[in-house]
Amino acid sequence: MLGIEDPWVVSAYYLCIFSALFCLIWGIIKWNKDDPETEPGEEIRRWAEEENRVEEEL
């Protein structure tokens, strides 16, 4: 098979190809999913208020 006699080397080549395909497919599926960090949530708002309070005290 492609001049490679060792099955471990062949399996390493196949795993590299399959992992690259998996990453490509995963990226396409997850491309435009909503990112929870793009919109500030309640926790981030509270953290910002506390940060402002600490800075005012200094």
pLDDT tens-place string over residues 15-24 = 999 999 999 9
CA distance 53 to 43: 15
* 41 within a domain of the structure (yes/no): no
pTM (two decimals)? 0.51
Distance of CA 11 to the CA centre of its chain: 26
- Residue 21 belongs to some domain of the structure: yes
In a domain, residue 12? The reply is yes
Residue range(s) defining the domain that contains residue 16: 1-31
Residue 5 located in a structural domain:
yes
> Does some domain include residue 9?
yes
Does residue 20 lie within any of the structural domains?
A: yes
Q: Looking at the 3D structure of the chain, how many domains does it have?
A: 1
Structure tokens, 19: 């992992």
Residue-wise pLDDT for 4-53, tens only, equals 889 999 999 999 999 999 999 999 998 877 665 656 677 888 888 999 99
